[in-house]
Chain A
Amino acid sequence: EPEVTQTPSHQVTQMGQEVILRCVPISNHLYFYWYRQILGQKVEFLVSFYNNEISEKSEIFDDQFSVERPDGSNFTLKIRSTKLEDSAMYFCASSGREFSSYEQYFGPGTRLTVT
């Protein structure tokens, strides 16, 4: 069964450093998303991406964040200068937007720890 994959599974970085989180969505999907979950809290939407541009972004997704689909398979989230409060689990999701199902398939997540 096709699945969304994410790398790395755990990333530790120092405050102020840039990090890139990588995702490989399901191959025929067209819509891509990033969510984050701060430890013990709810999952929050960050950004959606379609046709090589951002469809929607939340207020969390400020100028420090960017997304890119650099090739036909990867979807990346970049945080330019990490802050302590960026420590969270980051989930990538993709959707094919089939007629009867807009189901988003989630990856296993990348745990980002900012020290």
Chain B
Amino acid sequence: GNSVTQMEGPVTLSEEAFLTINCTYTATGYPSLFWYVQYPGEGLQLLLKATKADDKGSNKGFEATYRKETTSFHLEKGSVQVSDSAVYFCALSLMNRDDKIIFGKGTRLHILP
């Protein structure tokens, strides 16, 4: 089946630290990959996406590269800010008729000032 596995949180870092949140996937087809962010009390926002192998998605200083050989889509940011504190969800979609989004369990990130 199709699934997403991401590192468990919470992850606590100091401001300006380097962030990595690991994500791996299993898919029967060729998925598109996403990172969604959920700020406290808010809904889901698409942070970045990649639709084919070796694509790099980027937004707000966050990056993730679609690695087909390792079935991974790790989220990285060089210098985190307190405002990045949120829950981050890795997700995939097969982008065909069966196009539901399959989410990972989410990783809560706390950034300390």
Contacts and interface: CB of A to CB of B under 8 A. Distances in A.
Contacts, number: 50
A49 to B, nearest CB: 11
A26 B32 CA distance: 22
Interface string B82-102: 000000010101010111111
Nearest to B6: A42
B113 interface: no
A48 B42 contact: no
B43 A45 contact: no
A91 B43 contact: yes
Measured as residues with beta carbon below 8 angstroms from the partner, the interface class of chain A is 20 to 34
B97 A42 contact: no
Nearest to A57: B100
Interface of A: 31, 33, 35, 41-45, 48, 55-56, 58, 91, 93, 95, 100, 102-109
Given A42-B104, A43-B89, A43-B91, 5 more contacts: A33-B100, A43-B101, A45-B102, A48-B99, A104-B93
22 contacts: A31-B99, A35-B101, A42-B89, A42-B104, A42-B105, A43-B44, A43-B103, A43-B106, A45-B100, A45-B101, A45-B102, A91-B43, A93-B101, A100-B51, A102-B32, A102-B93, A102-B99, A104-B93, A106-B36, A106-B43, A106-B44, A107-B43
Interface of B: 32, 36, 42-46, 49, 51, 89, 91, 93, 95, 97-106
